[in-house]
Amino acid sequence: MVARGIMLGPDQPVILHLLDIEHAAESLNGIRMELTDAAFPLLKGVVATTDVVEACKDVNIAVMLGGSPQKEITLRKDMLSTNASIYKAQALILEEHAAADCKVSVVPNPANTNALILKQFAPSIPKENITCLTRLDHNRALGQIADRLKVHVSDVKNVIIWGNHSTTEYLEVNHATFTTRNGERPVREHVADDHWLKTEFITTMQQRGVAIIKARKASSAFSAAIAACDHIRDWVFGTPKGTWVSMGVYSDGSYGIPPRLIYSFPVKCEKGKWSIVQGLKIDEYSRAMMDATAKELIEKKSLAKSCLE
């Protein structure tokens, strides 16, 4: 998808740097051969390597896919210690070898905490340039609401993923709208089942990744790749007017969320920069849910610090 311009547009040539661990070198070379055979007009080169320094050299965009994988029986907290050491090591290499304007998106769980560790050990990369992926959950929420309303997913916008990419994340539709023949209408007016929104909708989304693992015996693949492309594309090119997306970004204290956490907010993007959407009304239920997921992130931040020490 990157080589076809889905992430960076149909006019942007790319050189792909592909990094994998040593025992996957043969498979990685196979991917390199397939990329060559596909004859993508935008693909100007492929660096397929097991050397992290070579992989990070002068990169402008880093989509971090490495980490201790989540299995069906593995809780995210159990992955934290292993991932802390991985992201410290990779951050140090990015710090030294990546381009000064490098944009980073961290995908593997615990994504928010992995991104925070990376930020700590890559201090010269601007904090605004280190993010984590919550776009998959955002896209999933759009799909669930569209199914509920019996409309096309492209007609729904402005759901929000608040907080940690975990089972505590809060999916809010209070500000979401969908397009009708008579213009945009609030989702809450037409999904009148408050019980469904606060129970089945949220639990379905929070457990969606686990459900896919149970079905596939592996984590989300295609949908996660689409979300990673969406995340970078909107960050680079901007979000449509009147539309926001969800991104895990460095908290500045907006909405009462403690600063210095990587927390998922609604953001608008313009000219390669994101900004948190301000002024949204937060009801009492949402406040409690947002604070609960922030509390988990604070706990994980503390645990990660102890692991690194």
Residue positions forming the annotated binding site for NAD(+): 20, 83, 107-109
Binding site per annotation, positions: 20, 83, 107-109
DSSP assignment string, 111-173: HHHHHHHHHHH-TTS-GGGEEE--HHHHHHHHHHHHHHHTS-GGGEE--EEEB-SSTT-EEE-
Q: Per DSSP, what are the bridge partners of residue 184?
A: 179
- Which positions are annotated as active-site residues? 165
Q: Cβ atoms within 10 A of the Cβ of 161, count?
A: 27
- Helix H or strand E segment including 269: strand 262-270
Closest alpha carbon to 77 in 304, 260, 309? 304
| The two three-digit tokens of residue 67, written as one number | 């980490």
DSSP assignment string, 197-225: HHTHHHHHHHTHHHHHHHHHSS---HHHH
Amino acid 254 reads S
Closest alpha carbon to 187 in 214, 159, 206? 159
DSSP state of 185: E
Closest alpha carbon to 190 in 147, 161, 135, 138? 147
Alpha-carbon separation of residue 41 from 7, 104, 225 (angstroms): 15, 25, 21
209: left (phi over 0), alpha (psi -120 to 50) or beta: alpha
